[in-house]
Copies of this chain bind each other. A is one copy, B any other.
Amino acid sequence: MKFSPLVDELIKSLQCLPGVGPRSAQRMAFHLLERDRNGGGKLGDSVSRAMSEVGHCQQCRTFTEQELCQICSNPKRTESGQLCVVESPADLLAIESAGQYSGQYFVLMGHLSPLDGIGPDDIGLDRLETTLSEGEWREIILATNPTVEGEATAQYIADIAHDCDVKVTRIAHGVPVGGELEYVDGTTLALSFSGRTAV
């Protein structure tokens, strides 16, 4: 034990955050204790609530504490008959911020990665197949990351869509190859949407 039991526990638990080691966890703990009890109180509360209440949208799989997320529960979003497949909620946000797209989403929460044991069912492709075969879709837009895994995942989904007789497109390579989609600026993302090509 280094400090009091509760302070030690605080420093240890902060290290579950990515990029936070023992030294910065200690700095964070002392900052909260010395200078921001109020912010720390809110942090504790919102972390606890988020961990226990936030689940996945029943339709698109993104994070939400409701049954359906805000996009899926918006009837205007179904009008276009478009479904955009992304890897993560951050990618969804990047596309929303670009302002080019007004259809629905499907969030994989990852990508195919056989070496890590992540197969089709782990990223919801069984549910996507049901969604595609049961709905009336005009177009599926594949907006997975332009990485090896993202391209492989896109190809896998394209095959499913073809089997379901749904038109599939892939966002154009306006986005830098090898990069992460969530860091691309809105203009580039908008360009990549308008320049999308049939798969």
Q: What interface size band does chain A fall in?
A: 35 or more
Is there contact, CB below 8 Å, between A50 and B10?
yes
Is A152 an interface residue when CB atoms closer than 8 A count as contact?
Answer: no
A45: nearest chain-B partner, CB-CB: B48
Number of this chain's copies in the assembly equals: 2
Partner of A50, one of B19, B29, B31: B29
Q: Which of B4, B26, B63 contacts A69 (CB 8 A)?
A: B4
Does chain B have a CB within 8 A of A32? yes
Per-residue B-contact encoding for A2-32, CB less than 8 Å = 1, 0 else = 1111110110111011110000101111111
Complex contact A41–B48 (CB within 8 A): yes
B50 in contact with A32 (CB, 8 Å): yes
Segment at the interface with B among A87-95, A157-165, A167-175: A87-95
CA distance A54 to B89 in the complex (A): 36
* Chain A interface residues toward B at CB < 8 A: 1-7, 9-10, 12-14, 16-19, 24, 26-34, 36-37, 39-54, 62-66, 69-70, 88-90, 93, 109
